[in-house]
Amino acid sequence: MEEQRGWNDILKNAPDNEPDRQRYFMIKCRELIERRKREIGRDLTFYDQTFGCQMNFKDSEKLNGILEEIGYVKADSEEADFVYYNTCTVRENANIRVYGRLGTLKTFKKKNPEMIIAMCGCMMQEPEEVEKVRNTFRFVDVVFGTHNIYKLAELLYRALYTRERVFDIWEKAEEIIEDLPSDRKISFKAGVNIMFGCDNFCSYCIVPYVRGRERSRRPEDIVAEVKKLAAEGVKEIMLLGQNVNSYGKKFQEPISFAQLLRMVEKVDGIERIRFMTSHPKDLSDELIQVMAESGKICRHLHLPVQSGSDRILKKMNRHYTKDQYLTLVEKLRKAVPDLSLTTDIIVGFPGETEEDIQETIDVVRKARYDSAFTFIYSKRSGTPAARMEENNPDEVIHERFDRVLQEVNRVAREQNQKMQGETGYVLVESIDEKDETMVTGRLSNNNVVHFKGDTSLIGQIVPVVLEEAKGFYYIGRLKDA
Ligand code: 5AD
Ligand code: SF4
């Protein structure tokens, strides 16, 4: 219990307020890591395995930023000294993948007993999953959830210092902590959180339970971050939130998402602005107008429809009908003619019938999506839909899923020919994976383009003639080349 006494002394000296407290623990961690590096004569390494959505990837950038700050070096495999899994639980198969992979870590830990293994993210906000890790995966040392990722340095220090397992999961989110490190993978593109959590409670969705209530970051903090990113050379930002259209509604002096966009647009150096995700019920005319007028907001909108059947939409608690959704799409297309529209669709919701699926296929045809993520409904315990009666055999659901997917692909292929022969501006992202004499980038509408070019183009926005539509991407030619 010597360690425990020492640990209590450390706690006494730690500042109470954040982010000072975490800065203190980062320094403490760095001291430990430095000492250990000298003892073993090599760097200490870390590796992350991130599952799920852009929110999780953004969280991992923050966790990696903290790890780099305290002296860990990024490894290129899971054979590292600190490995964390940032988990997703939106569908059942995400959980299965996590546990499947976790087993391999045990063998690495046998070879390297100093290895620390952590689990965090959405799955760890579910008490039954935490118990499973606690009892079945005893080689996992640190467990935390979605609300306290900023505390990584403190939790890690505790694990390193006391050599005990550390479990710290908060049921509810507290204040938003600003000004902690973050490590970005790409120099010219960045995600920026504008809000956390979700209040919509779609009946199938576990997100409101694991990510908590909606909380918006203050506009001045967001703009300051965007300015900093611009100064670092970032050209494209993605504003992130589960439901960006309800940004700022809870402030004492409310501000709309459209107003926030106008503020962010003014930041010099930022050339492209994307955002994710929009809920159709909250998408305002003001936002459509800002999009139509903007030279920076990208011509792409992800507008999840989930289903085309009014009956199912009601059971899903989505608060719109098929007609309302399609009217919104029409309005958007009129105001922003070159808009590319993408969506999410769930097939196999409890009680879904053939007529319901026909309605969904009809929406795909009428909305003319450029692409769509189609998911098979996955029952998440604790959600209202989990208590609804399921009446469809798996084969029926799979057959319907295939039909929806076919229609999605047919429409998407047509949509992705629209710009053939035109010139589009491409932000070049990387060398083409299949042909190293070519580069790959994206148009404002998010379409992928491959064309002849070299590394000097990466990070630049250049005009490209879109010579050939290939179904889901274009082959182009650099203009004037
Ligand atoms: N089953 C299947 N798909 C789901 N999604 C959310 N919850 C579930 C679930 N229980 C899908 C929705 C959402 C996307 C991020 O994941 O389509 O828009
Ligand atoms: Fe889930 Fe609905 Fe919130 Fe999206 S809007 S995160 S689907 S509850």
Pairing of strands 461-469, 423-431: antiparallel
Tell me, in angstroms, the distance from the centre of ligand 2 to residue 267's CA. 30
Token pair for residue 288? 């459509």
Q: Which residue type occupies 60?
A: S
Q: What whole-number distance in Å separates Cα of residue 354 and Cα of residue 360?
A: 10
Instruction: With CA atoms as reference, report the closest residue to 42 among 71, 9, 10.
Output: 71
Atom of ligand 1 nearest to the CA of 90: 7
Q: Provide CB contacts within 8 A for 316, sequence distance 6+.
A: 202, 203, 204, 306, 307, 346, 349, 385
Q: SS3 of 48, please?
A: strand
Ligand nearest to the Cα of 201, by number: 2
Ligand 1 pocket test, pick from 201, 346, 408 with the greatest ligand atom count within 8 Å of Cβ, gives: 346
* Ligand 2 contacts CB of residue 279 (under 6 A): yes
Instruction: With CA atoms as reference, report the closest residue to 25 among 159, 168, 167.
Output: 159
Tell me, in angstroms, the distance from the centre of ligand 2 to residue 202's CA. 6
In contact, 117 and 139? CB cutoff 8 Å: yes
Q: 334 - beta bridge partners?
A: none
Length of the chain, in residues: 481
* Strands of the 236-240 sheet, one edge to the other: 189-193, 236-240, 272-276
DSSP 8-class letter at 297 = B
Instruction: With CA atoms as reference, report the closest residue to 242 among 290, 207, 218.
Output: 207
Instruction: With CA atoms as reference, report the closest residue to 181 among 262, 67, 274.
Output: 67
The pLDDT of residue 396 is 97
Atom of ligand 1 nearest to the CA of 277: 18
Atom of ligand 1 nearest to the CA of 373: 17
Which residue's alpha carbon is at the smallest distance from atom 4 of ligand 2? 242
Instruction: With CA atoms as reference, report the closest residue to 225 among 166, 270, 186.
Output: 270
* Backbone torsions φ then ψ of 433, nearest 5 degrees: -65, -30
In contact, 131 and 95? CB cutoff 8 Å: no
In contact, 288 and 334? CB cutoff 8 Å: no
In contact, 401 and 357? CB cutoff 8 Å: no
* Ligand 2 contacts CB of residue 243 (under 6 A): yes
In contact, 404 and 358? CB cutoff 8 Å: no
Q: Which residue type occupies 184?
A: R
Which residue's alpha carbon is at the smallest distance from atom 2 of ligand 2? 202
Q: SS3 of 340, please?
A: strand
Q: Provide CB contacts within 8 A for 451, sequence distance 6+.
A: 426, 438, 439, 464, 475, 476, 477, 478
Instruction: With CA atoms as reference, report the closest residue to 117 among 100, 131, 137, 136.
Output: 137
Q: 118 - beta bridge partners?
A: 84, 142
pLDDT one-digit tens code per residue, 163-193:
899 999 998 888 888 888 888 888 999 999 9
DSSP 8-class letter at 386 = G
Residue that the structure tokens 């903090």 belong to: 221
In contact, 270 and 316? CB cutoff 8 Å: no
The set of protein residues with a Cβ atom below 6 angstroms from ligand 1 is 90-91, 204-205, 304, 306, 344, 346, 375, 377-378, 380
The pLDDT of residue 169 is 93
Stretches in the chain below the pLDDT threshold 70:
1-5, 481
Ligand nearest to the Cα of 94, by number: 1
Q: What whole-number distance in Å separates Cα of residue 481 and Cα of residue 464?
A: 9
Instruction: With CA atoms as reference, report the closest residue to 422 among 447, 392, 391.
Output: 447
Which residue's alpha carbon is at the smallest distance from atom 16 of ligand 1? 90
DSSP string, 55-108: HHHHHHHHHHHHHHHTT-EE-SSS-SSEEEEEE--SSHHHHHHHHHHHHHHHHH
Ligand 1 pocket test, pick from 205, 209, 381 with the greatest ligand atom count within 8 Å of Cβ, gives: 205
In contact, 87 and 119? CB cutoff 8 Å: yes
On the question of a cis peptide bond just before residue 19, with omega within 30 degrees of 0, the verdict is yes
Instruction: With CA atoms as reference, report the closest residue to 345 among 321, 383, 374, 317.
Output: 374
Q: What whole-number distance in Å separates Cα of residue 427 and Cα of residue 295?
A: 15
Q: Which residue type occupies 266?
A: K
